[in-house]
């Protein structure tokens, strides 16, 4: 039988779908039509947001996710749509481990080294408050680190923009090739995420005189995608992020010619497991990266 197991706080839960293994062949997860899958998910999530247009409706919580945070009902519904697509993919014979903030690590088929890293709503506070800048983020990796990510997809629901990258093939915005801007001694636009005043004030003081203007989008994936598209010179999160926040977009930035830093960790050391935490900054190059990270005193990584 085709099996699916979930890693949940130290326990493994195994599911047994009714489809017999002999009825399907093995499928390489990387050969799947990921653009088609992601676009179907965008439409499914748009329908969810349209059905729940109010702040009150989007502020309903349903328990606590595997990442340890309270879960919004719309987060769970969007994730359900993702997992329905993954079930279909597994039914075609693909084996992989899904990494999701709400469900944790879920093994499909025979599991194996491949990872599908999912953030159905990056920018949940924006989505809850009906601010349109939030995104769907999906990464497909051949192993358990940022260095192993082979494909990255980010969709910005506010602008209706699709960012996509495959390793070695460059990055695109709505199907058009994009690249980062020029690496300069002073940044014209810097994106700031997790901008609580108590964290932002010392960071901004450290960057004084080296940044012209700041922008706070409210989604790590969108801010870093703007670096890839040449819109921002750099971005930084003032709190450590999870793999689900960054896995897809860090490939986009690198494929667009930019640089990404996870604190002092090499890409191989930035793991894709849900328990991992690390700082993130992205920039057009090393000069911009040095400025973006100069004010971030939170060096937690794990």
- Sequence spans of domains, the chain: 4-178, 187-294
SS (H, E, C) 51-107: HCCCHHHHCCEEEECCCCCEEEHHHHHHHHHHHHHHHHHHHCCECEEEEECCCEEEE
Instruction: Read off the pLDDT band of 1 (50, 70, 90).
Output: very low
Kindly tell me if the per-residue pLDDT of 136 is higher than 70: yes
Q: What is the pLDDT of residue 26?
A: 79
Helix (H, G, I), strand (E, B) or coil at 180: coil
| Fold adopted by 4-178 | Fructose-1,6-Bisphosphatase; Chain A, domain 1 (3.30.540)
Cβ partners under 8 Å of residue 23, min gap 6: none
Kindly tell me if the per-residue pLDDT of 286 is higher than 50: yes
Q: What is the pLDDT of residue 299?
A: 46
The closest alpha carbon to 226, from 158, 287, 297, 146, belongs to: 158
Q: What is the pLDDT of residues 194-240, one digit of tens each?
A: 989 998 999 999 999 999 999 999 999 999 999 999 999 999 999 99
Two domains, one topology: 4-178 and 187-294: no
Rg (the chain; Cα; Å): 19
CATH code of 187-294, in short, is 3.40.190.80
Task: Give the strand pairing for 171-173 and 161-166.
Answer: antiparallel
Q: What is the pLDDT of residues 78-99, one digit of tens each?
A: 999 999 999 999 999 999 999 9
Give the Cα separation of 302 and 300 in Å (integer): 7
Half-sphere exposure of 261 (CA within 13 A, CB side): 22
Cβ partners under 8 Å of residue 170, min gap 6: 177, 179, 255, 256
C-alpha torsion 74→77→82→83, nearest 10: 140
Q: What is the pLDDT of residue 295?
A: 79
Angle subtended at Cα 187 by Cα 185 and Cα 188, rounded to the nearest 5 degrees: 135
């Amino acid at each position: 039988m085709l099996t699916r197991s979930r890693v949940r706080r130290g326990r493994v839960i195994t599911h047994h779908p009714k489809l017999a293994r002999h009825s399907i062949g093995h499928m390489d997860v990387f050969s799947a039509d990921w653009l088609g899958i992601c676009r179907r998910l965008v439409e499914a999530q748009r329908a969810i947001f349209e059905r729940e247009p109010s702040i009150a409706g989007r502020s309903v919580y349903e328990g606590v996710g595997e990442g340890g945070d309270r879960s919004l009902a719309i987060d769970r519904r969007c994730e359900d749509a993702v997992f329905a697509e993954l079930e279909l993919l597994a039914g075609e014979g693909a084996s992989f481990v899904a990494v999701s903030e709400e469900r944790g690590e879920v093994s499909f088929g025979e599991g194996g080294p491949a990872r599908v890293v999912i953030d159905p709503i990056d920018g949940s506070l924006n989505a809850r408050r009906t601010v349109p800048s939030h995104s769907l983020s999906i990464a497909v990796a051949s192993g358990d680190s940022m260095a192993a990510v082979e494909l990255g997809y980010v969709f910005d629901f506010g602008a209706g923009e699709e960012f996509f990258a495959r390793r070695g093939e460059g990055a695109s915005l709505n199907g058009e090739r994009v690249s980062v801007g020029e690496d300069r001694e002073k940044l014209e636009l810097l994106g700031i995420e997790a901008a609580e005043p108590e964290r932002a004030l010392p960071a901004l003081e450290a960057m004084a005189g080296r940044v012209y203007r700041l922008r706070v989008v409210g989604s790590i994936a969108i801010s870093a995608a703007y670096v890839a598209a040449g819109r921002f010179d750099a971005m930084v999160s003032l709190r450590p992020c999870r793999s689900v926040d960054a896995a897809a977009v860090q490939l986009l930035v690198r494929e667009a010619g930019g640089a990404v830093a996870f604190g002092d960790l090499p890409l191989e050391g930035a793991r894709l497991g849900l328990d991992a935490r690390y700082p993130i900054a992205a920039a057009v190059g090393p000069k911009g990266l040095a400025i973006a990270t100069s004010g971030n005193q939170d060096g937690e990584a794990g």
